[in-house]
């Protein structure tokens, strides 16, 4: 009988692996670890951090947990009331070789099974039967779910429905545009946060993050949508990529008063995140108190659930919530 199965390979799962010394098996439905801490590699173009953009934290324990990282240096702005203002927020933690490595490095020497999506859980006498979508099965004494809220609920509702009904969580989407320009936009800006905009949420100049893994002849930008725009377009975005790319770039160019010509676009694509963040936590800043951690643990079933969406809505809260769960197991 195997000991502990952990579903997901984001920050929450990595934290469980960091604090527990048990025999752990990690299962990831995608082809690689990281969850929403994702980096897109495009041949002959470079890397786009199309998930997590950066981490803000002043907690030394969390920074030690992260391991190899650097501070993103640059010129940061806020677009508010049709004006660019300086963003004097706290330091921004990144990995200059791609933010996916912030998580990937934490899974070194761990047993990780990729392309393994959990379909259902069945509770037997003293173990769980895990049914995967590839028609394989595994038995474990303990199961930890670190998936986004809706997926966690769907997998565990037969055991936890009353608990989840009280929480009233709701995950929200995001659309992320990745674009490489043949010529620089000459903005001299590292990143822009757009406040209360109908289309845009955040934009990052990837060249200011990554020192060695970008084609130096190109300028790469990752542009994330506003919540309003994502809700409107998330379910049909795959069929409407050209028009969405055009709309987001037009909005970007108008606000920054620049001219983006079609022949200056070397590469573009758009990715949709159906479960990007939770509405109850997305407005929380990263000074969120680690003592506010939250998770679910049923010691009789030996079933646990954790994630950033319980409280905080960021990587630091994922760490704190999972740390709390690890103490209970």
pLDDT digits (tens, 9 = 90+) for 51-98: 999 998 888 999 999 988 999 999 999 999 999 999 988 789 999 999
User: For residue 30, is pLDDT > 60?
Assistant: yes
Is CATH 3.50.50.60 the right assignment for the domain spanning 2-35+103-168+289-328? Answer: yes
Instruction: Calculate what percentage of the chain has a pLDDT beyond 90.
Output: 76
pLDDT mean over 7-26: 94
For residue 244, give both structure tokens.
Answer: 């969405």
Quote the pTM value: 0.88
Helix (H, G, I), strand (E, B) or coil at 65: helix
Above 90 in pLDDT, residue 312? no
For residue 250, the model assigns a pLDDT of: 97
CATH number (3.30.70.141, 3.40.920.10, 3.30.2310.20, 3.90.660.10) of 53-98+171-278 reads 3.90.660.10
At residue 290, the pLDDT reads 46
Residues 96 and 70: their CA atoms lie apart, in Å, by: 7
Q: What are 268-311's pLDDT values in tens digits?
A: 999 999 988 776 543 333 333 445 558 999 999 999 999 988 87
Rg (CA), the chain: 20
Local structure of residue 173 (DSSP, 8 states): E
User: Do 158 and 200 form a contact (C-beta atoms < 8 A)?
Assistant: no
pLDDT tens for each residue of 196-234: 999 999 999 999 997 677 888 999 999 999 999 999 999
Domain layout of the chain by residue ranges: 2-35+103-168+289-328, 53-98+171-278
Give the pLDDT band of residue 161 (cuts 50, 70, 90).
confident
Q: What is the 3-class SS of 231-288, one letter each residue?
A: HHHHHHHHHCHHHHHHHHHHHHHHHHCCCCCHHHEEEEEEEEEEEEEECCCCCCCCCC
Question: Strands 137-145 and 2-7: what pairing?
Answer: parallel
Q: CB under 8 Å to 68, separation ≥6 — which residues?
A: 95, 101, 105
- pLDDT averaged over the chain? 90
pLDDT computed for residue 182 by the predictor: 97
pLDDT at 283: 36
For residues 203-235, one letter each, b for 16 or more C-beta atoms within 10 angstroms of the residue's C-beta and e for the rest, the string is: bbbbbbbbeeebbeebbbbbbbbbbebbebbbe
User: Can you list the positions of beta strands (E) in 136-199?
Assistant: 137-145, 171-181, 191-194
Token pair recorded at residue 10:
């984001």
Residue 139 has pLDDT above 80, yes or no: yes
Share of the chain above pLDDT 70, in %: 94
């Amino acid at each position: 009988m195997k000991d502990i199965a952990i579903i997901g390979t984001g920050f929450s799962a990595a934290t469980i692996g960091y604090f527990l010394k048990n025999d752990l098996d990690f299962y990831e439905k995608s082809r690689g670890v990281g969850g929403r801490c994702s980096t897109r590699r495009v041949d002959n173009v470079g890397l786009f951090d199309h998930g997590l953009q950066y981490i803000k934290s002043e907690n030394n324990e969390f920074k030690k947990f992260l391991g190899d990282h650097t501070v993103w240096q640059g010129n940061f702005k806020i677009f508010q009331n049709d004006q660019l203002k300086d963003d004097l927020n706290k330091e921004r933690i990144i990995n200059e070789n791609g933010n996916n490595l912030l998580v990937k490095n934490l899974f070194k020497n761990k047993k990780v099974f990729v392309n393994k999506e959990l379909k259902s859980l069945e509770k037997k006498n003293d173990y769980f039967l895990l049914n995967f979508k590839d028609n394989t099965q595994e038995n474990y004494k303990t199961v930890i779910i670190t998936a986004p809220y809706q997926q966690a609920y769907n997998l565990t509702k037969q055991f936890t429905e009353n608990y989840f009904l009280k929480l009233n969580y709701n995950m929200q989407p995001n659309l992320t545009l990745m674009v490489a320009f043949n010529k620089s936009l000459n903005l001299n800006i590292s990143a822009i946060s757009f406040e209360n905009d109908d289309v845009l949420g955040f934009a990052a100049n990837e060249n200011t993050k990554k020192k060695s893994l970008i084609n130096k002849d190109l300028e790469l930008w990752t542009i994330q949508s506003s919540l309003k725009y994502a809700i409107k377009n998330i379910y049909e975005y795959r069929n409407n990529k050209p028009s969405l790319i055009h709309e987001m770039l037009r909005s970007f160019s108008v606000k920054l008063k620049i001219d983006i010509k079609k022949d200056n676009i070397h590469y573009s694509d758009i990715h949709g995140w159906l479960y990007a963040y939770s509405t109850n936590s997305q407005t929380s800043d990263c000074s969120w108190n680690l003592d506010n951690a939250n998770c679910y643990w049923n010691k009789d079933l030996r079933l646990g659930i954790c994630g950033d969406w319980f409280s905080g809505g960021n990587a630091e809260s994922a760490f704190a919530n999972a740390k709390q769960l690890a103490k209970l197991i």
